[in-house]
Structure 1
Amino acid sequence: MLKRIDSNNMGKSNYGWLKGNFHFSFAEYFKPTNINFGVLRVLNDEVMKANSGFDTHPHNDMEIITYIVRGELTHGDSMGNIGSLERGQMQYMSAGTGVYHSEFNHSNEDLRILQIWIMPDKKGYKPNYGDYRFNWKDRTNNWLHMVSGTLKDVPINVHQDINVYTTYLERDKEIYFNVNKGRQVYLVQIEGNSEINNVHLNEQDALEIVEENIKIKANENSHLIVIEMNKTEALYI
């Protein structure tokens, strides 16, 4: 089963310094039929203006993943972590029992990020932070496995049965992804446009995939991310 999500129909935010598309209910955008997709609770596609950012604020009991699409993101938190990440790199924070953090764009160019929140398999984990500076070439015409909750040899580990992959597919190239029985995927067309099992996706569109293998063909250079997880619709946190 495939369901295309048109970016034009997503929730929108515009605070001047920050603009975004909300794939699921978040902040001022609330739609009771669009709270989550399985354990995926938040996916915000956001552009942060130069020399702006999120001041220090709290989180708890959520696995928070941030993928940098372009620009430079600077992170700081109450655990003493600080650092900057660029295009194609990723940070992970298990908020657990509680953590404070800030996220800033200190550069003179716009920053685009995907903010992804995953519901953990239980509450009360010890807070944790990590980041990884992936080699861009490792995803070119190939799946780069970035995050896993079950495979310890994957660079970023989370407290949930999910897997996150990305690819940068050059024009006219094809790639396959298997979605096994009892599994589902949320896919985002980050950049470019493609055909997926005859479904056309434009930049910022998304696709829900349930128990169906897919073939992706890039109509132009295409940057995509997939979040693969156990098939469930329950919102339990």
Structure 2
Amino acid sequence: MMIVRPSEARGHANHGWLDSHHTFSFADYYAPDFMGFRALRVINEDRITAGEGFGMHPHRDMEIITYPLSGAVAHRDSTGGEGLLRAGEVQRMTAGTGVLHSEMNGADEELHLLQIWLLPSRRGLKPGYEQKSFPESERQGRWRVVASPDARDGSLTVNQDVLLHSTLLGKGEQAEYTLAPDRHAWLQLARGRGTLDGVELKAGDGVAVSQESRLVLTASEPVEALLFDLA
């Protein structure tokens, strides 16, 4: 069973410096049928103008993954984590018992990113920060795990039973994924256009998947996509 969440159906907020689309309910946007999916709580697609961003603000009891599509994020948090995050790199921050952080546009161009929140496996975790690079060569034409509960294959460690994969596909390329019994998936098409098991998708679309085993993503134009394998 697959349920498509069309890009144009997402919540939208334009604050001038920030243009944001919300796949699930977030802030003032409320969609009772899309409060999240399994442990996945937030996917926001943000575009932030140069010189702007989110100043220091608090979070707690959430696993936050930042995935830049273009531009650079200047990150700083109260755990001592600090750095510049560019496309091809992924960051995980465990908010746990409480953390302050800021995310600013760190370049002289528009910043385009996905901000992802996952409910943690338990509350009250020690706050933490981690960032890693995943070169295009490791993601081209295949699913590359970028976050997992056991840091498999050099991925980020996330405190939840989820495997997050990323792929880049050229026109006509396919990436196949086998979903184990009793597992669920969310596919987010970040860029491009293609099909998932024959269902047409465009940039910004998401798909909730349950009771399926074999998923085949085919690119009709160059694609960047994320796949969440969830309990």
Q: Indicate whether the TM-score tops 0.5.
A: yes
Quote the residue 1:146 is aligned against.
146
State the Cα distance separating 1:198 from its structure 2 match: 1.2
Show structure 2 runs of 5+ residues with no match: none
Show structure 1 runs of 5+ residues with no match: 231-237
State the Cα distance separating 1:134 from its structure 2 match: 1.7
Whether the 8 Å contact between 2:98 and 2:127 is mirrored in structure 1 is yes
Residues 152/203 of structure 1: CA separation in 2 closer, same or farther (3 Å cut): closer
State the Cα distance separating 1:124 from its structure 2 match: 0.5
Q: Deviations over 1:141-162 (max 9, x none)?
A: 1111100014544420111100
Q: Distance in 2 between matches of 1:77 and 1:198?
A: 43
Consecutive aligned runs of 4 or more in structure 1 exceeding 4 Å deviation: none
Quote the residue 1:162 is aligned against.
162
Matched, 1:6 2:24: no
Aligned residue for 1:46, secondary structure, equals strand
The amino acid of 1:196's aligned partner reads L
Q: Deviations over 1:181-228 (max 9, x none)?
A: 111111111111001111000111111111312111110111111111
Quote the residue 1:227 is aligned against.
228
Quote the residue 2:73 is aligned against.
73
Aligned residue for 2:181, secondary structure, equals coil
Query: Normalising by structure 2, what TM-score?
Result: 0.97
The amino acid of 1:186's aligned partner reads W
Q: Distance in 2 between matches of 1:194 and 1:63?
A: 29
Summarize the alignment of residues 66-215 of structure 1 with structure 2, pairs less than 5 Å apart: 66-212=66-212, 213-215=214-216
Whether the 8 Å contact between 2:142 and 2:176 is mirrored in structure 1 is no
Tell me the percent identity.
35
Q: Distance in 1 between matches of 2:149 and 2:211?
A: 20
State the Cα distance separating 1:33 from its structure 2 match: 2.1
The amino acid of 1:40's aligned partner reads L
Aligned residue for 1:137, secondary structure, equals helix
Whichever structure has more strand as a proportion of its residues is 2
Aligned residue for 1:138, secondary structure, equals helix
State the Cα distance separating 1:103 from its structure 2 match: 0.2
Alignment root-mean-square deviation, CA: 1.1
Q: Distance in 1 between matches of 2:161 and 2:150?
A: 6
State the Cα distance separating 1:106 from its structure 2 match: 2.8
Aligned residue for 2:138, secondary structure, equals helix
Query: Normalising by structure 1, what TM-score?
Result: 0.94
Aligned residue for 1:193, secondary structure, equals strand
